[in-house]
Each structure stands twice: as structure tokens, then as C-alpha cells.
Structure 1
Amino acid sequence: MDLTPSAHTDTFTRDHLPPAGQWPRLTDLGYPARLNCGAELLDATIERLGAARPAFRDASGTVWTYGELRERVDRIAHVLTGDLGVLPGHRVLLRGPTTPLLAACWLAVMKAGAVAVTVLAAQRPHELAAICGPARVTHALCDVRVTGDLAAAGVPGLRITPYGGGGPEDLLGLAGRRPGRYEAVPTAADDVALIAFTSGTTGRPKGCLHFHRDVLAIADTFSAQVLRPTPDDVFAGSPPLGFTFGLGGLVVFPLRAGASAYLADWGGPGQLLRDVARHRVSVLFTAPTAYRVMLPKLAEHDVSSLRRCVSAGENLPAATWRAWERATGLRIINGIGATELLHIFISAADERARPGTTGLPVPGYEARVVGPDGRPVPDGTPGLLAVRGPTGCRYLADERQREYVRDGWNLTGDTYVRDADGYFSYVARADDMIISAGYNIAGPEVEDALLRHPDVAEAAVVGRADAERGQVVVAHLVLRTGVPRGAETVAALREFTKAAIAPYKCPREIVFHDALPRTPTGKLQRFRLRGGDGTGGGGTGGGDTAAGGTEEGRAGGPA
């Protein structure tokens, strides 16, 4: 594949792209050969709609206009290239809670022609080192509140510039002495703009290389054609900017549309509802669990400003979809995305949305369900989800590229089924299918049945090794407040589940937790529930309730 001559002085990222023969087949959306996504999102939007429109809002109530945002971004870009010696192509780590300033830093890195490596404020030293090493990060812009773990990571040669602490060497102090306009580096459309690392739910994180044109492609496909925002929209949500779900939904999409975003760190579902009411949020991005937890609290908050609700990150149960529509009149826009493809590629909105399905391929993308041989299987038959479109997997010097991309298609690792109308429905992660006594059991189907019970707040279903059956189904549950964790509750839940799905699919064990283990991005860590010893146990983690929850009850028996 022929690439446009790079504007990068440091060519590390282009040098470490996978061989052209291992790339997925990419759809050409017709972008020019020279393209800087930072300039397109900011300067081009100002040219279209003016500088006075609100761009970002924060928890203090401060509103940044597009003009004010550009001035801050351009000053920071001058600091990067002038004070800090950042060259086009250098990797710049961005770390901090979700704030307008973090978003401004990302835009400045784009305009400077450098490569952003976004990480989570919650990641620990060994996790940060595992990212900085493969990406050969040279510089970091870090919120002063979370510099400790980054310094403790001991990354050789890393220059850390804090922001938000005051003083002449703080990023903002340096920026105050720089000009308010910066001419963006004329990067190639296929120069790498960012390295997004997978969340590591199944093992060593993988660095995904995305081009400047990819950043615009997710806005011009899913956002423009499914979400359909307007310049008057106010975006908000729970995903951090270190997660591509958040970067797209809270920065790229609103800026591309000339809209605004409320940027604040995740404070739980209750706080999210208060933010919706206070800031008149109209477009909401969060995970299925948050929608479910918010349901009983809706009556306490004014959510009349909402018009778009997007769900991704994990399977959205049909019961949650229906309950949200009954309570708000809004159909959740379900979707599946992947760090490897940058954002959502299957979804549906409005009258095309169907509960229990993920949806249809986003315009610009193709999808099919294939068997182990890579050939499409008949509708109604479960198989591996294969996708291709304007974005696709390009791992940073990782042998797993061959596993993810086959015959020009991205294989996401999800088991899906397509119906006769072309709708795609999630079955399970391909490596999470439970095989018990010869039966294939999809954990999400069992979870959906359990979540219909009014006493269940969260559910995760995994397989446990069993000498007689191969595996047995184990349900890990968080109950609603006040529900006893005893044998009577276990019996009631198992009988309820048997009435909803075939008895062989019902859990043989039920484990109660204070919280289910999740990554900082909110994805369920099923491997922790399986337990290293195959017991299906293991401690629980944060999620939407207090961190460090413990297992408090286990009960089981024959189905």
C-alpha cells in the first residue's frame, strides 16, 4: 500500500506499521493527501461556524468558546515545539482526569504533528511503563494531580511537563508566554495521529496506530450518519478521554459538528444524572451498566434535555433498552466498537433500532459473520464477526496483527449472529463461550435473563472447569440494596432464570459481590471472575460502586 510522504521528522510510527499485506482492506472516503485532524476539528469548524460558539464546559461552570479553545491549543502547541523540543512524529503521553485542558493538550499534539498516546489517570506505574516502552514515548503532559505514578514508572528519558499546578515551568505558565496562533503542521492524511492501547481485559495491551484521516472518519461515519448531532447539542458521558469511546464521543464528534461538550471526571451514575440536568446535556455516552443503574433514579432528575443516548463498551441487554425507552421515550443507540477500529462500526438509531440487537453496519463499513474458515455462514448461524471500512487494525509492531486481520477483514473476537433483515446480534466474546456437557452457552444470554429480575443490579456469567461437564455456568451478581444474600434469594433467582431460558443454560452456581471487577474504562474483567485456579472466584473491583468489594456469598447445586 502506497503511503503519502510523511511530515514526521521522527518516523518511528510509520516504520513500525504492520507489513502492507497484513492490513485490513480500507475504504477510501476521499480525504486530501495532506490533512491535520486538529486543524480540521478546530480551525475548520471556526471557519464554518464562528469562534463565539461554546466548545467545552467544565464542572465549575466555566465555558470555553471555540476561539478561546483555539488560543489555548495554539499556545500549548508552541510550548511543545518551542520549549519542549517536540518534533513531528514524537510520541507525547497525555494523562489526567477528563477536563477541557486535557482535551486542549490532545488538540495541540495533533496540530504540532506529534503522536498522542492517551492513557487513563487510574493506571499504575507498571501499566504506564508497559505502554511507554513499546511506544517509545519521549514527552508527557500530565495533570499535576497524577504525576506521581508516571514518575514512578521510571520511563527512561521521559520528559514530564505538569499542568494545573501553577509556576513558571507549569505547562500553563509556559503557554502564557507564547503566541496565541499556531500554524498546524501539514501532516499527511496517513501520518499516525495517535496510538490507542487496548484496555488489557485479556492480556498484554496492544498499541493501535490511527491516522489523521481515521480521526475524521469516525466523525463522518458513525457520528454524522447515525448519531446525527447538531451545533446546538451538548455532549457528556462517563468514558475517559484515554478510552477511544470517550475521545470520539466527547471531543471528536462535538467539535466536528460545531457542538459543545461537558468534560468532567466520572462521578458515578447519580452524578451523571445531575450533570445532565444542570448542563442541559442532549447527547449522552455511557455503558449499559450505567443506564441500568440510572433507571430507578430518573424520576429525581430533569433529563428532558436528552435526545440521544449512546451505549457501547459491552453488551446492552434488551431489558435495559426497553426499560430506558419506557422511562424516557428515548431509544438507546446501541453499538459495537473496538480500539482497533477506533470507534463504533455497527449501530442503529431511531426507528431502525431494535432491542436485543447491536444494529446494522454503520454507513461506510461492511460486516459479516464467518466460520473458522473465514467464509460467511448462513443467517441465524453464530460465527465470528468480521468488519472492514475506513478504519482498521494496525498494531504497533505486534505479532497479533495476523490474528486480528485475515483476508482483509478485521476479526473482532466477538461471536455474532445476523438475521434475515441484516441485523447483527451479540452472542458472546469468542473466547467466553461456555461449553457444558456438549451445549454451547452464551454468557450474555444468561446475564440478560438474570437482569430481568428486579433484585439484580449487575450480572456477569462465566464458565468454571468441571470434571464431569467440562464447564458449568457460574453467575456473579450484584444485588440491589437490601436484598438478602442467602439461599432463598439463590433459589428464587434460579427458578426465575429457568422460566426465561432453557434449564441447561441456568447457572449452577451463584456468587454475590459488592461490585464486579472492571477496567478503568468500565469493561468487565471476566478473567478475574474465572479465577486463576479455575474456581470462578476472585476478588471484585470498582465499577460503579465502591472499589474493593468482596465476595460475600456463594451457593449452587444441580440445575
Structure 2
Amino acid sequence: MSTQLFPPVRTVADVQAIEARPYETFMPWRGLHEALSASAERFGARTAMTLLADDTFEPAQSWTYAELLEQVARAGNAFRALAKGERPRVAMLLPAIPQAYATLWGAASVGTICPINYILRKEHIAELLQAAQCNVVVALGVHGQLDISSKVLDICRDCPSVREIAWVGQVPPGASGVSFEDLVAAQPATLENACSGDDIAALFHTGGTTGSPKLAQHTHRNQLHAAAGAAGHYALTEQDCIINAMPLFHVAGTIVFGLSTVLSGGHIVLPTVLGMRNPGFLRNFWSVAAGVKASLITATPTGIATVLAAARKPGEVDGVRALLTGGAPLPPELALEFERETGIPVRNTFGMTECSGVVSIEPVLAERESVSCGIRIPFTEVSVATLDGTPVPDGTSGIMRLRGPNVSPGYTEQARGAGTFEGGWLVTGDLARIRDGRIEVTGRAKDVIIRNTHNIDPQQIEDALLKHPGVQMAAAVGQPDEYAGELPVAFVVAKPGVVLDLNDLLAFSSENIAERPAQPKRIDVIDALPQTAVGKVYKPALRRIALERSIQERLVATGLQTEVSVRTRDEAHGLCVDFVPCASSLSPDTPERLKTLMRSFTFEWRIEEAATNA
């Protein structure tokens, strides 16, 4: 007999019924440690999480709920000891392994955790450590398949705030620091005076990978509320087993799929140290899912195609009740194909770092609507408004705003929140509309392509191209143009074994995009769309390609291609153009000709190794 701690949500009426009762009946806990203690008391001997071996994909390490709470308490006590009287501010550079969960919730219980994407460049990680004022670092030690340790050693030498490094696994030879396992084992198994409520539990870095770091603050209340909301929409119980394939420096892996499962008593399966980067695991995805008796699986929208391509044997999908996805727009055709081929429902989650990872979810127990991002979680107010904040009627597009217990108190640098945290609202920057309580996100406001003052939503281009039987993924951006401002261009990835004809694609898009200005002027077939570490399509990289191509075409048209080549930079304030001389000196009139060429563009530009600058 399963127990449902959080009322399952099927409709907007279910959300309203939950809101009609006192908030404490929805969220009875004030802090993460209190919530974990309740799970340990209720589900103590049940398995909380299992790490799979890198090669055999058999269970390599498992913790029960009682053991998880003990490890969290020991880790919290260890961080207090390492911080030597300061409030622990712990940076975590770990893959999704059990010790990472102990670090996450142990640090949050006594101070603040800052999970960091270990794939970032050294200088960016160093900036994050300094911005978060971390005094303890927990990092993966020597590992044959994942080298984090050498990067951490280089970084910490130049970070004076870091007092100690705790190494998970093998301590690098000759390195300073301590063994995480030895340190934790020596600590008391209970924790006193745990943090809670509006204490800052976590700092999650957000935004791109250039410019100064931007750290979103999460309180205990934020994370618990988001996790409870996800649990209800996913209809989680202690009978569920979820393959959590998301990294723990991302809010989906940590809160939306992770904490929600632990609050509900379910079983988290961690798919090897490399996760979805383990090619062997991906090849054997369905046999592994059947072996662990997974009832829920997770993947980013771009990862769904990879999971779908994995070989399946009869019966291997039978126990899976849903695939949970999020982190990027869900291509409707891909979701339909997955459901048609596997019989497993796909359910989308919409959220952002600044609201602990969740705004709305397509409920698992309800039918999916192809263009919907689902129903808001309880006690979270979602509004769609004009740029000046005026609400728009139901069904009308506008900018999404929200407020509620899941919304962050802001960034560590409050000034960075201008335009995002406004008058008690979180302004998401997403173009959206609400129909009968269901939220439809149609694109990012900053992604809008503006052609002669005509606003073009790139998602309509992408949705049209994804209807083509040979297209697996698509992304549209604006290519700078001195006459139109921007022209829509698209990049597509072909399905395996398919050769796409560009003329056919252009004709297909013309037939399927009713809005003539939105028809792409150019379509490029590429091997893969650029992605962030968590599987989102990274459109700034595509914009750079489009910008470089646009400028290069104009260099050729004006005969300047023999004088300079073009290179772009993605800075915090936007894309910039560098002209690189082809020879040791330029013709006397080249700077003026470049100035004329760039007059109609808004990009900052310069000539390398020259004083001329616009």
C-alpha cells in the first residue's frame, strides 16, 4: 500500500483545493534537516538512493533513509569543524553520487551550499568561489574517468577564502586537504541547531558562462515548497523508483527530481559517476531501467532522442509510468514520437533557477497538452503581463511573472536583480499565455527576432521545422542585417541516417509557417546543436555563428576579406566583434571602411592590435 504525502494534482481545481487549506498542511516542515528527519522516521529502512557501477551498471553503493540522514548530519558537523567558527559556505564540485547529496543537505543544514558545474573553465569556477565567499570545497578526488581534482587544485591556490578541501574518494597525491569519508566518519551522527525557514540554504549560479558570476539565493522554504509542488504533480509515493539523470549543480537534479523524491519516500537511482555522459549506460538504458524497476525516468528535451534511440527489448518499458523532462522547451513532435514508440507518457516541467526549479508541471495523472507547460504548483501565483506590468487577458501573450514561496529572495548582488526581481514579482523574461489555467511558454523575450519592428517568436519556426520527418532538433535565431535589423535563420539536426535537402527544408518551412516574415532566410544542417552542461540548447553560440557569418559576407561584398577576418566574443553586455588583420599592417583606408560597414549594426567592435575602436 503506497502513501501519498502530497495530494496528487490533475487539474487546476486540485491546486485550488490544496490552497483552500492552511499552508502548513501542504508544507509541514521549516527546514531541510527537519524534512529529512521526517523521511528517515517514516521510511527509515527503505532504500533512499543507489549509485550504479560505471561498467556493470549494477548497484555499487546504496543508502537507506536512516543512513542518508546520518550521513547528512555527519557532513554538517564536519563542515562546522572545517569552517572554524565561521558560517560554513561550502562549494561542491561533485558528480551525482550519494556523497554529493550528503554534502548538499549537510552544508545547507549548517550554512550555505554552492553547487558548481565542474565543467566550467577554471577562471569561471574561481570567480564563483570568490563571489560566494566559500570557505570549504568538497571535490571529487582522483578518478579514472572524471578529472575534477587537477582543476580544483589549480583554482584553490588562488582563492584565499578557502580554508579546507575535502576530497571524495582518493586524495590526490601530495595535495592539501582531507579525506571526506574519513572526516565524516569521525563526526557525531546527530545534528543540533540546524538552519531553517528563510536562512539561505544554497547559492546556484545562473546565466551564461561569461561575465561576472550571478548567484541566485535559495532559502530552505524555497526549496521545500518547490519539491512539494513537484511531488504532487508527479504523484510521487514511496513505491516510486526514479532514474535521476540530471546533475546536482542544476536545480532539476537537486530539487525537482531529487528532493521531491526523498520527501515522498521514493528511491533515487544515480546512473553511474558519469551519468548521461556514460555511453555504455546510454546503450543499455532500457535494460538498466528494467533492472532497477524504475517507475519514472528523466531526460532533458535534447536527451529524449538519445533515450529513444537506445535498444529496447519486449517488457523493458512496462514498469515506467512517465518520462519527466524540463530545462528547455519540449519539441511537441519529439514528445509524440517518444510516446508513440514506447507507450510512456512524457511530462514537461517549466521552471528556472530563481524559483527553485519549478513554476508549472504537466501532471502525470492527466492528459498531456502538446503546447502546454502544465499547471502551476500550489500557492504560486503566475501572471502574464505587458512590459510595464499590466496584466493581459486569458489567452493573450505577454511576459510571465510569478510570486510565491518558491521564489528566491534575489541574487547575492541585489543590483543584478534589476528587471528580474521587481515589486515582489519574479519577471521571468519568458513569452507566455495562460489558457484555462494551463501555462504555455512560447519563447524567451530576449530570443524574440525583431525584423523591421516585427516581433517573431523563434519557437514557431522551430515547431514548424520539427514537423519535418527528417528533422530531430531545430533552433532559430536572428541573424543581424543592416536593413531588416534581424533576419530569421535556423539550424537543424537530422535524424540518424537521414540526409536533408536544404531546398526541401526551405520549401517545407514556407508551407508550414503562416507568418511570412518568420520564414527563415537560411537553414543550416549541423551535426549537433550546442548545449549547456545540462542539455539546454545554447542559443548564444548560434547567434555568434550567425553574426560572424553576416559580417563575413559583408567583408567579402566590400572586398575587405583580404584585409581582416572576423571573430566574435560573448561578453556580459552582449556580443562583440573583433577584426583581426590578415597582415602586419592594414591599408590606410581600411579602418574607415570598417567603420562604414559597421555603422548600421549595434555591436561593439574593434580592430585587434590597433587604436581604432568604435
What TM-score range do you get, normalising by the shorter chain?
0.7 to 0.9
Amino acid at match of 2:326: A
Change (3 A) 1:338 1:184: farther
Residue matched to 1:24? none
Partners of 1:274 and 1:440 lie apart in 2 by 47
Partner SS for 1:534 = helix
**Is the aligned partner of 1:325 residue 2:361?**
no
Partners of 2:305 and 2:462 lie apart in 1 by 13
What does residue range 138-537 of structure 1 map to in structure 2 within 5 Å? Answer: 138-145=135-142, 146-153=148-155, 154-158=158-162, 159-165=164-170, 169-179=178-188, 181-200=189-208, 204-223=212-231, 225-264=232-271, 265-268=274-277, 269-270=282-283, 272-297=285-310, 299-300=312-313, 302-349=316-363, 350-393=365-408, 394-419=410-435, 421-484=436-499, 489-502=501-514, 503-531=516-544, 534-535=547-548
The 8 Å contact of residues 476 and 511 in structure 1, kept in 2 or not, is answered as yes
Change (3 A) 1:86 1:280: farther
The 8 Å contact of residues 237 and 285 in structure 1, kept in 2 or not, is answered as yes
Residue matched to 1:549? none
Q: Percent identity?
A: 27
Residue matched to 1:18? none
Residue matched to 2:580? none
Partners of 1:109 and 1:408 lie apart in 2 by 28
Partners of 1:235 and 1:76 lie apart in 2 by 25
The 8 Å contact of residues 36 and 110 in structure 1, kept in 2 or not, is answered as no
Render the CA deviation track for 1:384-403: whole Å, top value 9, x for unaligned.
Answer: 01111112131112312221
The 8 Å contact of residues 73 and 107 in structure 1, kept in 2 or not, is answered as yes
- 1:203 Cα deviation after fit: 5.4
The 8 Å contact of residues 324 and 330 in structure 1, kept in 2 or not, is answered as yes
Change (3 A) 1:155 1:526: same
Amino acid at match of 1:135: A
- 1:186 Cα deviation after fit: 3.3
Change (3 A) 1:231 1:240: same
The 8 Å contact of residues 238 and 272 in structure 1, kept in 2 or not, is answered as no
Partners of 1:205 and 1:282 lie apart in 2 by 37
The 8 Å contact of residues 364 and 390 in structure 1, kept in 2 or not, is answered as yes
Partners of 1:86 and 1:501 lie apart in 2 by 62
Partners of 2:375 and 2:391 lie apart in 1 by 16
Unaligned runs of 5+ in 1: 1-26, 540-559
Residue matched to 1:13? none
Change (3 A) 1:278 1:192: same
- 1:365 Cα deviation after fit: 1.1
From 110, 121, 126, the equivalent of 1:124 is 121
Change (3 A) 1:256 1:86: farther
Change (3 A) 1:447 1:240: same
The 8 Å contact of residues 338 and 344 in structure 1, kept in 2 or not, is answered as yes
Residue matched to 1:11? none
Change (3 A) 1:448 1:68: same
- 1:202 Cα deviation after fit: 8.0
Change (3 A) 1:463 1:273: farther
Comparing 298-307 and 333-342, the one that deviates more:
298-307
Partners of 2:341 and 2:202 lie apart in 1 by 39
**Is the aligned partner of 1:40 residue 2:45?**
no
Render the CA deviation track for 1:300-352: whole Å, top value 9, x for unaligned.
Answer: 57222211322211111221222222233333221210100012112222325
Partner SS for 1:344 = coil
Change (3 A) 1:272 1:207: farther
- 1:33 Cα deviation after fit: 11
Comparing 320-329 and 365-374, the one that deviates more:
320-329
Partner SS for 1:220 = helix
- 1:166 Cα deviation after fit: 5.8
Render the CA deviation track for 1:203-249: whole Å, top value 9, x for unaligned.
Answer: 544211111122211122222x2112010111123320010111014
Render the CA deviation track for 1:361-409: whole Å, top value 9, x for unaligned.
Answer: 2222111210011011123332101111112131112312221122321
- 1:160 Cα deviation after fit: 1.4
Unaligned runs of 5+ in 2: 1-20, 54-58, 143-147, 551-566, 569-614
The 8 Å contact of residues 36 and 185 in structure 1, kept in 2 or not, is answered as no
Amino acid at match of 1:53: R
Q: How many residues align?
A: 503
Amino acid at match of 1:255: V
Partner SS for 1:415 = strand
The 8 Å contact of residues 143 and 163 in structure 1, kept in 2 or not, is answered as yes
Partners of 2:476 and 2:379 lie apart in 1 by 34
Residue matched to 2:75? 76
Partner SS for 1:232 = coil
Partner SS for 2:275 = coil
Partners of 1:78 and 1:238 lie apart in 2 by 29
Partners of 1:80 and 1:311 lie apart in 2 by 33
Render the CA deviation track for 1:469-507: whole Å, top value 9, x for unaligned.
Answer: 22111111222233336xxx1011122222222243222
Amino acid at match of 1:396: T
Comparing 404-413 and 145-154, the one that deviates more:
145-154
Change (3 A) 1:177 1:379: closer
Change (3 A) 1:449 1:204: farther
Partner SS for 2:249 = coil
Residue matched to 2:564? none
Comparing 448-457 and 370-379, the one that deviates more:
448-457
Partners of 1:100 and 1:518 lie apart in 2 by 26
Which of these two proteins has the greater Rg computed from alpha carbons? Answer: 2
Residue matched to 2:87? 89
- 1:435 Cα deviation after fit: 1.9
Change (3 A) 1:483 1:322: closer
